[in-house]
Structure 1
Amino acid sequence: MDSIDELLGELPLPPYMTAEDIGFAVKAVTVHVAEQWPDGPRCRSDRAPHPCRLHRWGRRILDQRGLTDRQIRTLIAEQEASQR
């Protein structure tokens, strides 16, 4: 964890989950992916050590929703295809 993560802690989860939250979570996981740097993997978006706060938040949302890794990969692929 980066020092800013230690200071700020994790992003809170919503009290109840909506379809919009799932969309935001997929977007967070899609945008905040790992890139290899000399000192190790860092977030492509904010350069924090990967997984960054937003990536972890998105994964927690999707995990809490009960989605499997395969379902998450499908949602990410759909998100990326819609951006083209």
Structure 2
Amino acid sequence: MDSIDEILGELPLPPYVTAEDIGFAVRALTVHAVEQWPDGPRCRNDRAPHPCRLHRWGRRVLDQRGLTDRQIRTLIAEQEATRR
């Protein structure tokens, strides 16, 4: 965990996960995806050690909703296809 993460802590989860929250979470995973750097995996967006706070938040939201890894990969692929 990055030192700023230790200070700020985790982002809070919504009290219940809506369809809009799922969209935000999938977006967080795609924007804050991993990239390999000489010093190790980093967030594509903010260069924080991966997984960054927003990536972790997105994953926790989708986990709270009960989505499987396969369902999450499908949602990410659908979102990336619509961005092209």
Partners in 1 of 2:73 and 2:17 — Cα distance? 20
SS of residue matched to 1:36: strand
Partners in 2 of 1:44 and 1:54 — Cα distance? 12
**Paired residues for 1:27-42 under 5 Å:** 27-42=27-42
Matched, 1:81 2:81: yes
SS of residue matched to 1:13: coil
4+ residue runs of structure 1 moved beyond 3 angstroms? none
Partners in 1 of 2:74 and 2:53 — Cα distance? 22
TM-score, normalization by structure 1? 0.98
Aligned length: 84
Identity of aligned residues (%): 88
Tell me how large the CA RMSD over aligned residues is.
Answer: 0.4
Structure 2 gaps of 5+ residues are: none
